Structure 1
Amino acid sequence: MKVTANMSMSLDGFVNHPTDGVDTLFGWYSRGEVVTETVGDQGWEFKTDAHEAEGLEDAKSSLGAILYGRRSFEAAGGWNGLHPLGVPVVVLTHRIPEGWPREGSSVHFVTEGGISAAIAEGRELGGGQTVVIGSADLTQQALNEGLLDELTVDLVAAMLGEGTRFFDNLKGAPYELEQTSVRPGNGVTHLGYRVVKR
């Protein structure tokens, strides 16, 4: 069972912007004609080109759980309790937010044990499928602790100039990566890497 990190990232290395948030980076999810089904009542819909839709379906079929930090949880409004990809979500946080956990929600919280405990919870909830990290900070923690197997980056044709960098605070650098895939998209290039273990 793999642990993978995935983020949409600007050409200058940012995964969000102080005022734009992720709007520019997530634009590629709505530039096509092929709809990838989502769940829940958030009104989110993925409309990409055919190749990107195929990639999303492949990712969905192997996805067991997604890990996020508290900031991502808050920014997404807790996904109204149900992530659009329909898989369990593990949120690593110091304190469980007021009003959570909620009945019927697929959002779970880990407050002790750090990134390794969050990954273990994701593995248990994901039933042997891939655990995906969707947070820059958690990705950095997983890399630093030798827990990350793969990286996938949706490299967006934009430069944000400021924001949160995907690859700050790497204590064990340099990290060696083996490129596993390159797929062009609509204003985005999808890159895959295997993390070479030391």
Structure 2
Amino acid sequence: MSKIIASVSCTLDGIYTGPQGDENNMVSWAMPGIVDSTADNLAMFQKADAILMGRVNYEGLATYWPFQEGEWADAMNKTPKYVATGNREQMEAQWGDFSDTISLLSGDLNERVAALKSEIKGNIIVPGSAVLVQSLLNAGFVDEISMIIHPVVLGSGKRYLDNIAARNDLKLIGTQLYEKSGSTRLHYEVVK
């Protein structure tokens, strides 16, 4: 059975977007830490057996990665990808010339994710996709959280773990300090 690993960059106060009114802008606070952690993030995605994302994240990534080249593009384009969506009108998912690597998960999320976890033998990475991660955590599907905390407090914006229904205990399984940016990766196992 596979492991679902939620991966995100967020501020010290748990914001994963830009501030309120500019939610799509992470550049001002996240880029120093993202650049600092690129090698580790790339290694995580290169080892992934699948990528699971929500519809909004998919829409952004699908317009960028299929048209890039290099190690990151290979990791994103060649790895099997799954899009979880509650949008009943969305009938298919596209990924440029890599259409054989993307599938749409529609219907009951819990049933579809349980089946996916049985089918995939290794790690399933969920990049960003806060609403999806919240649903997966509430349903008991998240096995690990890999979170890069950036040394900034925004005070407003969307919080990554905003709608959690119950307590989840975590066990710290790894840390990494990125000295140039001052960001820190905290890697937790979700205690079941």
Quote how far apart the aligned CAs of 1:122 are: 6.6
Relative contact order, CA 8 A, sep 6+: which one is greater? Answer: 2
Corresponding position: 1:21 with 2:25: yes
Partner residue in 2 for 1:136: 130
Partner residue in 2 for 1:34: none
How far, CA to CA, are the matches of 1:58 and 1:116 in structure 2? 30
Which residue identity lines up with residue 88 of structure 1 in the other structure?
P
Quote how far apart the aligned CAs of 1:5 are: 0.6
Quote how far apart the aligned CAs of 1:120 are: 3.4
How far, CA to CA, are the matches of 2:146 and 2:26 in structure 1? 17
Partner residue in 2 for 1:68: 53
| Greater shift in the superposed pair: 22-31 or 182-191 | 22-31
Count of matched residue pairs:
174
SS at match of 1:162: coil
SS at match of 2:30: coil
Quote how far apart the aligned CAs of 1:155 are: 0.6
Partner residue in 2 for 1:110: 105
Quote how far apart the aligned CAs of 1:27 are: 3.5
Quote how far apart the aligned CAs of 1:88 are: 2.0
CA contact (8 A) 1:67 1:119 kept: no
CA RMSD of aligned residues (A): 2.7
Partner residue in 1 for 2:190: 195
How far, CA to CA, are the matches of 1:178 and 1:184 in structure 2? 18
Of 175, 178, 197, the residue aligned with 2:168 is 175
Of 81, 96, 103, the residue aligned with 1:89 is 81
Partner residue in 2 for 1:30: 35
- 1:10-46 deviation line (CA, Å, top 9, x unaligned): 1111111242523232432335xxxxxxxxxxxxxxx
| Greater shift in the superposed pair: 83-92 or 153-162 | 83-92
Gaps of 5+ in 2: none
Gaps of 5+ in 1: 32-47
SS at match of 2:137: helix
TM-score normalised by structure 1 residue count: 0.75
- 1:37-76 deviation line (CA, Å, top 9, x unaligned): xxxxxxxxxxx5xxx62x3354134311111111112233
1 or 2, which has the higher helix percentage? 2
Q: 1:100 to 1:141 in 2, by over 3 A?
A: closer
How far, CA to CA, are the matches of 2:56 and 2:110 in structure 1? 15
Q: 1:119 to 1:76 in 2, by over 3 A?
A: farther
CA contact (8 A) 2:53 2:132 kept: yes
Quote how far apart the aligned CAs of 1:143 are: 1.1
CA contact (8 A) 2:148 2:184 kept: yes
Of 154, 160, 165, the residue aligned with 2:159 is 165
